[in-house]
Structures are given as structure tokens and as C-alpha cells.
Amino acid sequence: MVTVLSACAHLGSLELGNWVHSWIEEHGLGTNLHTVNTLIDM
């Protein structure tokens, strides 16, 4: 997921980034430090 979020940030794809963020929250991955940092970077 970190790679996908990084790609969204580099491409400026906020819509896809928001969808990935929703997926992360639904699947309980919101506590992973690397994922949270990537969301902040996005």
C-alpha cells in the first residue's frame, strides 16, 4: 500500500489516493506507521 500511495502522491491523483485511504481504514491497516506516514506525505 505504501508504494501505491507514493505513486498517487507523485502523480497528483488525489481521488485514487482517497480511495486507497478508505480501503486502508476499512481493512484495519491504519495503525501501520509506514502507511500513516505515506498518507501524510500524500
Residues 6+ apart with CB under 8 A from 41: 5, 6, 9
Angle between helix axes 2-11 and 14-26 (nearest 10 degrees) is 160
Give the pLDDT confidence score for residue 23 in this predicted structure. 93
* Rounded Cα distance, 10 and 32, in Å: 21
Give the pLDDT confidence score for residue 16 in this predicted structure. 92
Give the pLDDT confidence score for residue 19 in this predicted structure. 94
Q: What is the pLDDT of residues 2-42, one digit of tens each?
A: 899 889 989 989 899 899 999 999 999 888 899 889 888 88
Global confidence as pTM: 0.76
* Rounded Cα distance, 13 and 29, in Å: 21
Provide the 10 A C-beta neighbour count for residue 15: 9
